[in-house]
Structure 1
Amino acid sequence: GREKILLFRRDGATERAVGKILFVVSDGEERTDGGAGDAKIIVLDVKEEFRGTNLGGLLFTECMRALSGYGSERVLLDAEEDMSRYNRLVRFYKQLGCQVKPNTRIQYINNNDGETYRKIPMYRGLDASDRNRSSSWLEGRPFLPFCLVDAMGRCLRLRQSPLATHQWLLVQREEGDGELCIRSTLGQYLCVSSDGDVAADRTECHDWERFILRVVALPGDVAVDGQESVEGRQYLHSRSLWVLKSAAHAGKHLAVDKEGFLCSSRVPTFWQKRWQKTGVAERGQDRATQPPSAASLVCTRDTPQRRLHYRTAWSTQSVAFVRGMRERYLGFRLRKMGLLEAMDLVGTAQSRPFSDGWDGVSLKSLLFFTAEHLRKRGLPDWEQLVALVHGLGRIVRSIDVNFLQEGMDEYDWTLLSKSRPVGCMCDDDLNFPEYRELSPDRLNDGYMSDLGMYRKNCGLGDLLLLWSGPEYMYHMLSANCTTIPQEGLAMLRYFSFSGWHSGGYFSELCNVDDEMMRSSVSEFNKFRCEARDQCKSNITEKDCNHLWNSHYSGIVAKYNLDGQLSW
């Protein structure tokens, strides 16, 4: 007889069907090889706005489970597709284990709608794995379709899997306190083994398949959550950090290795939720409040330490703060010393201060590595010099005896982070805008517009940027009369101003000269990030000295930065 499996979506108290599969348990004919009658799939359909998370594969897998219970040994189907989707549907069914029936003709159909369709007969045998699924673990149980992706939106892979990517279902376990299972749409459960391997090769959920999803509570975010803007609260929640822990193996977290494969790690990897809206809102429903159709867990570089730093920057940095820092430091009376001595003073500083799992690479090693990275690319010597010194602003923490006595132990502005202007509205969504309402400048109406206290097209040189390590270094080199070209000094000052050079923001504040150097600043930052990601170990002191004596000391002298500099 004819059977069907329906897939429903629940939005609050409302349920609606979003997918279905109709099948006939027996087509009424005996097989010529003496086997049981074939089953046949009549319709497999998922509504267009819910496609993209392999819900069709989920329905197909559940159909195979049901048919195995009826004793069927083979299922037939027709892959009917228009010519513009040539072989797309066939590939979909082949990924589910189907094959094109041999010695059959492909039918071409014209439905008088201007499109030509082709119908390809296919079949699939029911194997032991189908028969082992005696009951549906999902029947009547809510689940959330989602993807595991990297920061670029690419689906994360399993090292020992024939599939290039997986689509997942997050399912709440009835047993255990807040425990979850992660099941692929094709019926395999993600698991962490006792030796730490991550795989999806089991069709039952036991100990190794249990996970715990926990939000990372950042001190003070409760107060931020009380902000008046509903949109602000929603955005704050969307940016929260989560960890996925194995419930069976204490201290093991779901992580991603350097090649983009899922793995386990004792060092927490952090994830963020991303929602994808459906294509069509219900009648009378605001799209902003429309429930999402799909979700992703994004493996992010973000860490609690980094979020805390940016939140404190929003609550600390203001027009008054930046002007105060300029008055305090732009006299350059802290110390007299050369660049090599400064490099030695930051020799043991961490190169990645916001990382939970620091790899031991020092800031000095990273600076030399970055300069060498640009040198190997054949970039000008002055650009290599900018790369060598771009992180030396960290030295202020060491040479300013009052630094730790004035509350800066809670907010270290010398740490390299994204920059932005103060004294105007900041719509830059790359710069933790969920903390925007903490800014002291919000109390001044004159700063609460796109231009704020600036003139249109005044030029970036007139802006008060966040007081930071690169900002300090830009002013320090200029005060010491360096002959580095203006383009190089712009790279030093603006490489961390990614909202401008890469995000497309603040164009109303730029002049023609700024626009001309935007691409070169962005390129410098790209090479800097490449070097940061590739630098995995320290450069020995001997090698650093060799690089300095054989190459960089000459460049330093060429651009008038040798001898004793005022810091």
Structure 2
Amino acid sequence: MSGQPRKPSETNPLADLDEWEDFLLERYPEPEKADAFRDYGDNVRPGVREFYRLNHTHQTFEFVRAKEDEFLGKSRRKMGIWEAMEFLNTLVDDSDPDTELTQIEHLMQTAEAVRADGHPRWFILTGLIHDLGKILCLWGEPQWAVVGDTFPVGCRYSDKIVFHDYFDANPDSKNPEYQTPTGVYEPNCGLDKVHMSWGHDEYLYHVVKDYLPDEALAMIRYHSFYPAHREGAYAELMSEDDQRKLAWVRKFNPYDLYSKGEAPPDVAKLKPFYQELIAEYFPAQIDW
């Protein structure tokens, strides 16, 4: 990757965003490697632990609403999907360029794994773009407001959320209105009516929601909602349609988590295929 390595800081404690995703692999190993599961609570790297502390402390209902107001007007830039991929590729991390993939290679790796299994073209495209919301980092957002397991705000925090105890420092934990199972929401209101913790999932969903099928949008919006799609939490907020959507998220999740160990894709060779696929669903430029 280009530029100088990013150093961990008080607001950005991860050496790179992949550090969070590596932690997910420790929590949710591939089924055939389940016997190797480690107690991540004891063994997790300090930067990852600090990342979760910041995320759980600062992702309040008020913070989320403010970020929705700030970003969902999509007034920052006009660019196409491939241009956004190249923009994301400028995201600098503390990785070894001889061993780590570029951001575009990561995106293609997921898409190629989906493609190899014969899934529909919209599914392949979803694999390609699902992490493009990480461009929030390039607009100055701290890591804890870009990546991390997502969860509803404005209601009780599920004990299925990793490092649940860190929510004790969140001001919302002292607000009784927010600390019932459904909080400010009606029971079974549906996730569309729920405000999720802010990050790349929610942002990208709003950027692309006019262009893709509902199943693809669910994969994008909820692929980091591990408390729900891997742990079964928050059923009291969900409609019947949400359960259908989460089934698609579960179908997507193995490609998101387990495709990174495969061979690096040949970007130059694959670029024409993916540019044609992008043009099938998206105009030349969209609002970001």
TM-score grouping bracket, smaller chain normalisation: 0.7 to 0.9
Which one of 418, 421, 424 corresponds to residue 149 of structure 2?
A: 418
Q: Residue 66 of structure 1 corresponds to which residue in structure 2?
A: none
Q: 1:374 to 1:499 in 2, by over 3 A?
A: same
Q: 1:460 to 1:357 in 2, by over 3 A?
A: farther
Whole-Å Cα distance in 1 between the matches of residues 227 and 92 of structure 2?
A: 25
Which one of 249, 252, 270 corresponds to residue 547 of structure 1?
A: 270
Tell me if the contact between 2:160 and 2:233 (Cα under 8 Å) persists in the aligned partners: no
Q: 2:127 aligned with 1:361, yes or no? A: no
* Residues 301-323 of structure 1: per-residue CA shift (max 9 Å, x gap): x3222221111011111110000
Tell me if the contact between 1:303 and 1:356 (Cα under 8 Å) persists in the aligned partners: no
- Trace 1:290-439 onto structure 2 (pairs within 5 A): 302-349=44-91, 359-398=99-138, 400=139, 403=140, 408-409=141-142, 411-414=143-146, 416-439=147-170
* Residues 329-372 of structure 1: per-residue CA shift (max 9 Å, x gap): 01111111111111112225368x8x999942222111001000
* Residues 364-400 of structure 1: per-residue CA shift (max 9 Å, x gap): 11100100000001111111111111111121332x3
Structure number, greater radius of gyration: 1
Q: Residue 240 of structure 2 corresponds to which residue in structure 1?
A: 512
Structure 1 residue 536: deviation in Å?
6.1
Whole-Å Cα distance in 1 between the matches of residues 200 and 40 of structure 2?
A: 32
Q: Residue 189 of structure 2 corresponds to which residue in structure 1?
A: 458
Whole-Å Cα distance in 1 between the matches of residues 84 and 40 of structure 2?
A: 42
Which one of 226, 231, 255 corresponds to residue 503 of structure 1?
A: 231
Mark the runs of 5 or more structure 2 residues left unpaired by the alignment.
1-9, 11-31
| Paired letter, 1:565 | I
| Superposition CA RMSD, Å | 2.6
Tell me if the contact between 1:419 and 1:496 (Cα under 8 Å) persists in the aligned partners: yes
Percent identity of equivalent pairs = 32
The structure with more strand, counted as a fraction of residues:
1
Whole-Å Cα distance in 2 between the matches of residues 374 and 358 of structure 1?
A: 26
Q: Residue 237 of structure 1 corresponds to which residue in structure 2?
A: none
Whole-Å Cα distance in 2 between the matches of residues 348 and 376 of structure 1?
A: 28
Q: Residue 92 of structure 1 corresponds to which residue in structure 2?
A: none
Residue correspondences, number: 254
* Residues 100-138 of structure 1: per-residue CA shift (max 9 Å, x gap): xxxxxxxxxxxxxxxxxxxxxxxxxxxxxxxxxxxxxxx
Which one of 216, 219, 239 corresponds to residue 491 of structure 1?
A: 219
Name the SS of the counterpart of 1:546 in structure 2: helix
Tell me if the contact between 2:55 and 2:144 (Cα under 8 Å) persists in the aligned partners: no
Tell me if the contact between 1:336 and 1:565 (Cα under 8 Å) persists in the aligned partners: yes
Q: 1:458 to 1:324 in 2, by over 3 A?
A: same
The structure with more helix, counted as a fraction of residues:
2
Tell me if the contact between 1:350 and 1:363 (Cα under 8 Å) persists in the aligned partners: no
Structure with the bigger RCO (C-alpha within 8 Å, sep 6+) is 2
| Paired letter, 2:60 | S
* Residues 509-544 of structure 1: per-residue CA shift (max 9 Å, x gap): 111101122222112012211113x1465x4xxx32
Whole-Å Cα distance in 2 between the matches of residues 391 and 384 of structure 1?
A: 13
Whole-Å Cα distance in 2 between the matches of residues 394 and 516 of structure 1?
A: 26
Whole-Å Cα distance in 2 between the matches of residues 363 and 304 of structure 1?
A: 24
Mark the runs of 5 or more structure 1 residues left unpaired by the alignment.
1-218, 220-258, 261-270, 275-297
Give the TM-score normalised by structure 1.
0.42
